[in-house]
Amino acid sequence: MSEKATVSITVNGKVHEEEVEPRLLLVHFLREHLGLTGTHVGCDTSQCGACTVHIDGASAKSCTVFAAQADGSEVTTIEGVGSQDNLHPMQEGFWEEHGLQCGYCTPGMIMSAINLLNENPKPTEKEIREGIAGNLCRCTGYQHIVKAVQYAAEKGVVR
C-alpha cells in the first residue's frame, strides 16, 4: 500500500490537517475523517451528484476527487451553507417549496443549485433544469426543486 500523505484542507472555514491514503476519496475524507455526513454517496460512477460540494467556490462531485487532490483547497459542504436557525435562501427555498422528500439527494442538489445561481442569478426554468441535470433525484420529479431554485433566485442568493 502506498505511503500516507498529509493534507491540509479547509472545510467550512476550519483548517484540517490529516494523514490520508492516496486513494482516499474526498467524500470519504469528509464523511469518515471529519464526521461531516451531510454529503452523501449515491453512485460509484459520478453520475448522481449526491456528493456535490464546493471546492474553491465551484461545485464538484467529491466522489471523483481524491482527498490528496484537494490539498490546500477550501471546501464547503452542506453543513457550512446554513444552520437550522440561519438557513441559506436556497435551503429556505427547498423547505418552502417542498423541494425534497427522502432528502438523500438534497445536500448535493442544494450545493449544485447554489453554484447555478452564483453563475446565473436569474435563470429561466430551462436553465434551472439544465443546471441541476447533473444531480439525480428519484422522489420529486424535480418540479418542486425548480420552484425552490426560483424561490432562492427571487430572494437573491449570496455565496
What are the residues binding another protein (CB under 8 A)? 21, 23-24, 31, 35-45, 47-48, 50, 77-79, 81-84, 87, 91, 94-96, 98, 100-107, 110, 125-126, 128-130, 132-146
Burial class for 79, CB neighbours closer than 10 Å (0-12, 13-18, 19+)? middle
Closer residue to another protein, CB minimum distance, 72 or 106: 106
Closer residue to another protein, CB minimum distance, 31 or 73: 31
Closer residue to another protein, CB minimum distance, 35 or 72: 35
| Closest separation in Å from C-beta 79 to another protein | 5
Closer residue to another protein, CB minimum distance, 22 or 72: 22
Spatial strand order of the sheet with 58-61 comes to: 14-20, 5-11, 74-76, 52-55, 58-61
Which residue reads 444531480 in cell numbers?
135
- Are 110 and 55 in contact by the 8 Å Cβ rule? The answer is no
Which residue reads 427555498 in cell numbers?
93
| Closest separation in Å from C-beta 56 to another protein | 20
